[in-house]
């Protein structure tokens, strides 16, 4: 269920890092009711990159965005310590363990291809484009687990429109940062780098698609895609590419990393569909991290009323 109102659970007022150095005083000041949220923020601060740009060490000012799910938010520990980021290793705990020295400052993103105003922009420039929003989205991994995360970012369309795409721009390719010296575990993964993902233009411009710079009221930890990533909540998790350094508008469908390696397992569209099994397992159910029982997987991850019209007339088994 999607709600056009403020969620009950919020991380709106994040305390500056210095306050966390006096944990006991802080907990006394905010009272018992806020203790859990305070500890959650403290944990995020402890695992975030020490090399973020200026905005990263201060409070992220954001407004409540639309399209928030009313489901229980997943624990920070699960989201930051059970995830995929193959550049830092293939096991779910590898990204948190191996990414802590990843350098995320300075950082620029190059915009190229079929646009009238190609250029590079810094994250400091990005923060001036539009107000930051918090969006609480559910997510589904192709490996059958799911989470609910309070992201902070911008509707991607607000960012892309400023570059004035040409009529030839039908798709957008996104490229992750890659440096073998900082990511030595990548040589054992069997993937070709840099990692590339892509969206059709209408998917990229959809109001649900988020250019994300934070989560749980703070900046992104390295293992979750610092300093900037894409979040596409109706698609399987591997479409939400991390640590972006290039955005390229193009006329033809981009060659994407997982689709290139195993197109029968990882389609270009990657829409969550319980009726299309992965060749090695069923996608009909999922395991929400932190819960004991499995639950039914929802078509388009439950966002069908907002996104299904983009796929009218398409064979969703062929174009999986």
Neighbouring C-alpha atoms within 13 Å toward the C-beta of 84: 19
Across 31-167, the runs of DSSP E, i.e. the strands, are 62-64, 68-69, 108-113, 119-122, 132-140, 145-155
Distance CA 256, CA 274 (A): 22
Segment 265-291, tens digit of pLDDT: 999 999 999 999 999 999 999 999 999
Tell whether the model's pLDDT for residue 210 goes beyond 70. Answer: yes
| 247-261 burial code (b ≥16 CB/10 A, e <16) | bbbbeeebebbbbee
Tell whether the model's pLDDT for residue 82 goes beyond 50. Answer: yes
pTM: 0.82
Least confident of 15-24, 174-183, 191-200: 15-24
Distance CA 283, CA 6 (A): 31
Q: What pLDDT was estimated at residue 112?
A: 96
pLDDT band at 66 (very low <50, low <70, confident <90, very high): confident
Distances (CA, A) of 64 to 12, 131, 152: 8, 10, 9
pLDDT band at 167 (very low <50, low <70, confident <90, very high): very high
DSSP assignments along 112-124, one per residue: EESBSS-EEEEHH
- Could you give all domains of the chain from N- to C-terminal order, each with its CATH number? 13-47 (no CATH), 50-311 (3.90.420.10)
Sign for the pseudo-dihedral over CA of 118, 181, 222, 88: positive
- As a 3-state breakdown, the chain gives helix, strand, coil percent values, each rounded to 5, of 30, 25, 45
- Residue position matching structure tokens 């991390």: 242
Q: Is 45 helix (H, G, I), strand (E, B) or coil?
A: helix
Indicate the average pLDDT of the chain: 84
């Amino acid at each position: 269920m999607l709600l056009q109102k403020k969620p009950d659970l919020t991380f709106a007022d994040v305390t500056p890092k210095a306050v966390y150095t006096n944990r006991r005083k802080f907990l006394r000041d905010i009272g018992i009711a806020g203790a859990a949220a305070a500890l959650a923020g403290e944990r995020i601060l402890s695992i975030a990159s020490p090399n973020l740009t200026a905005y990263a060490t201060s409070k992220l000012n954001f407004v409540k965005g639309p399209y928030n799910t009313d489901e229980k938010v997943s624990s920070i520990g699960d989201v930051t310590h059970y995830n995929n980021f193959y550049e830092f290793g293939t096991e779910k705990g590898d990204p948190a363990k191996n990414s802590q020295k990843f350098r995320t400052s300075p950082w620029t993103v190059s915009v190229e291809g079929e646009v009238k105003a190609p250029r590079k922009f810094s994250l400091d420039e990005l923060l001036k484009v539009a107000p930051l929003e918090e969006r609480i989205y559910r997510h589904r991994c192709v490996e059958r687990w799911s989470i609910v995360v309070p992201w902070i970012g911008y509707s991607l369309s607000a960012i892309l429109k400023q570059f004035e795409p040409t009529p030839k721009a039908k798709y957008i390719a996104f490229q992750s940062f890659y440096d073998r010296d900082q990511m030595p575990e990548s040589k054992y993964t069997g993937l070709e780098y840099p990692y590339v993902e892509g969206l059709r233009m209408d998917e990229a411009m959809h109001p649900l698609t988020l250019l994300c710079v934070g989560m749980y009221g703070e900046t992104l930890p390295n293992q979750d895609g610092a300093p900037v990533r894409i979040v596409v909540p109706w698609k399987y998790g591997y479409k939400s590419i991390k640590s972006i350094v290039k955005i390229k508008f193009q006329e033809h469908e981009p060659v994407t990393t997982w689709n290139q390696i195993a197109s029968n397992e990882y389609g270009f569209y990657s829409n969550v569909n319980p009726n299309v099994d992965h060749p090695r397992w069923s996608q009909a159910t999922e395991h929400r991290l932190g819960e004991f029982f499995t639950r039914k997987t929802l078509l388009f991850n439950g966002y069908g009323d907002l996104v299904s019209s983009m796929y009218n007339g398409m064979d969703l088994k062929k174009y999986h």
